[in-house]
Amino acid sequence: MNSSKLFNILVPLISVFIGLFAGALIMLGFGYNPITGYIALWNGAFGDLYYFGETMRQVTPYILTGLAVAFAFRTGLFNIGAEGQVIVGWLAAVWVGTSIEAPMFIHLPLAIIAAAAAGALWGFIPGLLKATRGVHEVIITIMLNYTALYAANAIVRNVLSDNEDKTPDIAATASLSSEWFQNLTYFSRMHYGIFIALFAAVIMWFLIERTTIGYELKSVGYNQHASKYAGMSVKRNIILSMVIAGAFAGLAGSMEGLGTFGYMSVQSGFNNLGFDGIAVALLGANNALGVVLAAFLFGTLKVGALNMPTEAGVPTELVDIIIALIIFFVASSYIIRWVILRFKKEEQ
C-alpha cells in the first residue's frame, strides 16, 4: 500500500479516535463518566433491533448527502447547497406521492426520479452560473438553500395543503416503508431506502473511477486550463458535476419524504442533512466507500446520542462537540500527516 492510500485511511481513523478521546476528557471535565456515556451511546444505536433500525434509517440520507458533497469535491467544486437540494427533492417526492394515483411499480420509481430531478435542477443553477459567469458556487448554493426552504414552505401551505403546516400522507404505492423491516426491528422507521443509498455509492464509485466521464470530471477539477487544452469542455463538466451532485442530494430528500416521514411539513429552519453531508464527505475522504463508512459513524453518533441523557445523564450537545472535533482534526489533516511522517523518519 502506497503512502498516499495509507494516509487517506489513517487520517480519518486517527481523527475519530482523537475526537472520541477529547469527548471523554470533556465528559470528565464536566463531572460525567465517559465510559457510562459511551456505553449509553452504543446502546442507543445498537442496544436492540429497534435502535439498530433507527440508526440505519439515519445512515440512509447521510450516505446520499455525503455522496452529493463528495462528488462535487472530486471534481473541484464545493457543493454547500446539498441542504437546499435535499429540501426540493423531498418536496418533489411528496408532491408526486400525494398527487398521482398509479401502481407501486410506477408510482414509487416516479416519485424517486422526481426527487433526483428536482435536486439535479437545483444543482444545475449554480453549475450554470459558475460555468458561464464565473460566479463562485458557494455563494449561489448558500442563497439557494434559503430559496428552497422558504419556497418549499409556501408550496406546502398553499399548494399541497389547505393552509396546513404539513402535506397529506403519501399514497401507500409511493412509500419506501417496509412492513417486513418494521416487524424485524420492532417498528423502527428503517426502510428500503438503505439499498438505494448503497447502490448510489456504487454508481458514484463506478462513474468516477471507471468511466471516461468521470475521468474528465476529475481532470477539470484538478486543472481546468490543462483540461481545456486537451479538448475537454470545462463548462459542460462543471454543470454536469453539480447536476449529478444535486441528484444525489435530491435522492436524500426522497428518503425522508417517502421513507422516514411519509409527508413534508413546514420547516422553521434547516434539517442539517445537507450540512452534515459536508462532514460525512470530509471524513470519508470524498471516496464512495469512505462516505458509506463515515455516514454509518455519523448515524451511530446522532441516534445513539439520544440515549445519553436518560441512561448516563450526558447532554446530547456533547455528541455535537465530538463530531465537531472529529471534523476539526480531519480538516487539520496536515498536522496528523506531519506526526506520521515524523514517526516514520525516526524509525528509519
| Between 6 and 346, the higher pLDDT residue | 6
pLDDT at 346 over 60: no
Q: How far apart are CA 242 and CA 268, in angstroms?
A: 27
What are the grid coordinates assigned to 70, written together?
A: 463528495
Burial class (CB in 10 A: 0-12, 13-18, 19+), 316: middle
pLDDT at 200 over 70: yes
Strand-pair partners of 191: 177
Kindly indicate the confidence band of residue 128, based on its pLDDT and cuts at 50, 70 and 90.
very high
Distance of CA 151 to the CA centre of its chain: 22
What are the grid coordinates assigned to 102, written together?
A: 398509479
Q: What DSSP character marks residue 159?
A: T
What's the pLDDT at 143?
A: 96
Sign of the torsion angle spanned by Cα atoms 131, 136, 141, 143: negative
pLDDT at 2 over 90: no
What's the pLDDT at 62?
A: 97
Q: How far apart are CA 262 and CA 272, in angstroms?
A: 19
Q: How far apart are CA 170 and CA 165, in angstroms?
A: 15
Q: How far apart are CA 180 and CA 195, in angstroms?
A: 14
What's the pLDDT at 221?
A: 86
